[in-house]
Structure 1
Amino acid sequence: MSGRILIADDVATNRIALKAKLSVAHYDVLPAACGADAIARAEAEHPDLILASARMADMDGADLIRAIRSRPALADLPVVLILPGDTAAARIAALRAGADDAITKPVGDRMLLARLRGLLRRHRGTRELRINAGTSGTPGLAEAATGFDSRGRVAVIAADQDRALCLRTRLKPHCGHELTTIGTHDPVGALASGLRADVFVVMIGADKAGDGPRRMAELRAAPHAGHSRIVAVMPRETETLAAALLDTGADDVVTAGLDPREISLRLGTQVRQKLSADRLRDRLRDDLRASVIDPLTGLHNRRYALPCLDRMVEAAMRTHRPLAVMVADLDYFKRVNDTLGHAAGDHVLRKVAGLLGENLREHDLIARIGGEEFLIALPETNRAQARRMAGRLCRLVRRSGIEVPGRNEPVQITVSIGVTLARSDPEGTRPSVDMLLGQADRALYASKADGRNTVTFAARTAA
């Protein structure tokens, strides 16, 4: 099935006709005979989209949308209202009520299916973002249908700058977003030159209407438009062209002569949904970053470090260049926690982590892999170079004298380091990460046994 669509209409013949159209397109159709029935079935069967009559005996479209949006599990469910007559006032009222789209009877099959495909694509994309960002079904984190007033950026693109300016002038009294214009025959080139927007409004010229779908596909594929919304403005109502534009990248299609209030409402819907998706992507990036970053020191954590070290070993074997692997551990750190408290201990850890990281090369790896233990990996570093670097790090920590808030005297701390080398093997044997860490750990224990604040090499390096 292409998706599950709930049809809400209190006229049985309307439900039957729509079900026939959608079933042919391989949609799973759920019928509802009234608004209350639609809400109950939506909660029980979780459709991907609701296609509802704007006028039902028990509630109108606005009431249905409010009821749907008030339920956290359904709050971002696309709702399309079917209007009995083609009037600007009715479409504007439906969009103001929070409908994702408003279409009028008679409904052309091709246009209907193209609009549904576009809405379903966006809904599935948003749903995947919510799942990955951990906000699926979480009250307060669903995409708000109304009342979201963040200011977005809308760029009107037309081959003729005067046409773009004319549309901007018409929209400005009704659109609360930043409006810019650009005259160009090449929208993709405009993006390459640095044009950025939350929504691109692309005006299709009457003489170039046949090129519209191709240009729309090119614009959608452009790297800087990947997450932006695109609204196509056609010179006149053409179902075939509108459907083609929707299927090749447009998020909405309007005609140039449409009431500017309706165009502005449609742009507002696109801006709101785009900014909502941006917030989800930001949260996902933050969560991914948090999963590989140690929150105390800001260094990478063990989860990041071990796969990274594995790739570094692979590169060392491939290029036949040495890789130095170190494990560094703060000496007598328990005394700091026991005598000064854990807050002071955390402060010392942060300062030592910063000191170590600041004195490594950009392509070196440093990560906190235990309580007070750090992994350091140095590509293209032989034994002599590794000894010099490890000795330098020991001296830097020993001489640091870490100032701790609330304490008059600086804390003196030292570090012990164990080192091993991963080198190319004539027989092609590849040392594992576990092997390298085991050797570096044993060398670290030897440094501790020798009095701490010292560097020890593994008795047998991985080769």
Structure 2
Amino acid sequence: MSGTVLIVDDMATNRIVLKVRLAPTPNRVVQAASAREALRLAATGAPDLILANTRLDGQSAEPFLRALRRIGRLAHVPVLMMQDGECAAERQAMLRAGADDILAGPVPEALLLARLRSLLRAHHAEAEIAAQAGDAAGFAEPRAGIALPGRVAIFGPDRAATRSLRSLLGGCTAHRLTSVAPEATPPPVPQDVLLLRIAGTGAEAGLHLLADLKTARDTGRCPVLVLLDRAAAPLAVTLLDMGADDVILAPADAGELALRIDRQIGRKRRIEAMRGRVRSGMAAALRDPLTGAYNRRHALPWLERQLAPARPGRNRVAVMLADLDFFKRVNDRHGHAAGDAVLCAVTERLGAHLRAGDLLARIGGEEFLVALPDASPARARRVAERLCDAIRATPIAVPGVAAPIPVTLSIGVTVVQTGPGQPAPDMQTVLEQADSALYAAKAQGRNQASFCARSAA
């Protein structure tokens, strides 16, 4: 994954070294010599990743991180901090201020590039979801603390290792911790983070477990944090490229491990919220906003699939066009708000008399499309008559209108034979047949169902 990387360091030699180390990658490199310059460049250029020293302008980089996270479009840009020497307190301070990762120098080049690839991959995946959800500018809500406890499943080479890790974390996190037996994959309930302990002697088994977790349906989207023995540190590059979301070397500082878990849970919940908005948006695009029935955009492709000859067996599809009689009078006499209320009530009544697999769509002002898969002519006739009865039987009470409004429905029906070996019925022809039958129902006095003479009925 390529992108723009902003390098921030007071020391020109450090910036040059990092730029040279990134030269083999396809990333574009921008440099800043101070926190102020970095904030200006980041605000105008929106980099895909920031690589910064933990010391800027002669002080801790915490103010820089906090200022960065206050800029909406940079609230979730990944930040990788470079630490001159190991310092647990400084690492925790950087994580609290908004860093995504911290590497203590000297950092092997392979590990640095693997970290960059991992962070860029996650950033681009989140940006794509954000764009679909309409949150591209700031990747949804700004970074915040974890509101509710999450679920963390702990995997280890043996039960003693998982119990030890659970005990280590228990005193510094409110998340619900579950020890998972090595043979139990996936975990018994949905999780927010998978914490995988890999010892040097069990490295191969750990790699297999990571691969299984990342490809399993129930855990594939769940972030994986790996706690890796220092003796197996070179394996971190492979783990990151296989899909591990974070790798930290053991023995781990409990506070730092808890902060990294918080970061993963926060990101997972942010992405889940955006996915939810995407699903809601897709559903809204296929629904009539007034009545909640499906709209034409959904109905016509759905009907075309039902008419396809590739469906196994010989089947009939009943297609109905239903139209409210004299609906304009309702709007003229009682107003459009009353007309809308009538349409909603009619939709509810029609839906109540259809099966789960049937289609009900509003395709015009007062026109509905009803389709019954696998319906015989006899059933199609019964359903059509029942729908007319359901609308006619009880006038519709509308708020603000003194008396309930009587409404009737006319329906045109055609029944189409489908199946292998037969040419696919032309959808436009089928709709024209139903429309002709609807016209006949209107001509015969309305408030009734009429069948197309050319259908199987």
TM interval, short-chain normalised = over 0.9
Distance across 2 between alignment mates of 1:317 and 1:78: 48
Does 2:57 correspond to 1:57? yes
| 1:51-450 → structure 2 map (5 Å cutoff) | 51-57=51-57, 60-137=60-137, 142-182=140-180, 184-187=181-184, 189-191=185-187, 194-236=188-230, 238-315=232-309, 319-405=313-399, 409-424=403-418, 428-450=422-444
- Does the CA-based 8 Å contact 2:313-2:419 persist in structure 1? no
Q: 2:348 is paired with a residue of what secondary structure?
A: helix
For the 8 Å contact 1:212–1:245, the answer to whether it is kept is: no
Amino acid at match of 1:371: G
Distance in 2, Cα, partners of 1:350 & 1:373: 12
AA aligned opposite 1:119? L
What is the CA–CA distance in structure 1 between the aligned matches of 2:372 and 2:143, rounded to whole Å?
52
* SS in structure 2 of the partner of residue 300 of structure 1: coil
User: Residues of 2 paired with 1:90 and 1:169: CA distance?
Assistant: 24
Between the aligned partners of 2:149 and 2:77, the Cα distance in structure 1 is: 23
In 1, distance between residues paired with 2:349 and 2:157? 56
Report the counterpart of residue 17 of structure 1 in structure 2. Answer: 17
The share of aligned pairs that are identical, in percent, is 44
Task: Output the CA distance in 1 between the equivalents of 2:455 and 2:434.
Answer: 9
Checking the alignment, whether the CA contact within 8 Å between 2:9 and 2:56 is kept in structure 1 is yes
Question: What is the rounded CA distance, in whole Å, between the counterparts of 1:424 and 1:439 in structure 2?
Answer: 16
Q: How big is the alpha-carbon RMSD for the aligned residues of Structure 1 and Structure 2? A: 2.5
Cα distance, 1:52 vs. partner?
A: 0.7
Q: Does the Cα contact within 8 Å between 2:313 and 2:420 map onto a contact in 1?
A: no
- Distance apart, 1:22 and its partner CA: 1.1
* SS of residue matched to 2:319: strand
1:223 partner SS: coil
Q: How many residues align?
A: 457
Q: Return the offset for 1:346.
A: 2.7
Q: Is the 8 A contact 1:108 1:239 kept in 2?
A: no
- The unaligned stretches of length 5 or more in structure 2 are none
Give the SS at the match of 1:234: strand
- Quote the offset at 1:409 in angstroms: 4.3
Q: Which residue identity is paired with 1:255?
A: L
SS in 1 for 2:234: helix
When the two structures are superposed, what TM-score results if normalisation uses the length of structure 2?
0.92
CA distance in 1: counterparts of 2:153 and 2:355, whole angstroms = 43
Q: Deviations over 1:2-31 (max 9, x none)?
A: 322111112111111111111113322222
For 1:11 and 1:233, the matched residues in 2 are separated by 32
Q: Which runs of 5+ in 1 are unaligned?
A: none
Cα 1:163–1:425 change in 2 (3 A) is: closer
Q: Which amino acid aligns with 2:162?
A: A
Normalised by the size of structure 1, how large is the TM-score? Answer: 0.91
CA distance in structure 1 between the aligned counterparts of 2:231 and 2:93, rounded to whole angstroms: 21
Secondary structure of 1:24's partner?
coil
Conserved 8 A contact 2:309-2:424: no
Contact 1:435 1:462 (C-alpha < 8 Å) held by counterparts: no
Summarize deviations over 1:146-193 as a string: whole Å, max 9, x none. Answer: 4453432212222433332322222222213222222x1235x243xx
Q: Tell me if structure 2 keeps the 8 A contact 1:75–1:142.
A: no
* In structure 2, C-alpha distance between the alignment counterparts of 1:86 and 1:426, rounded to whole Å: 70
Contact 2:146 2:266 in 1 (8 A): yes
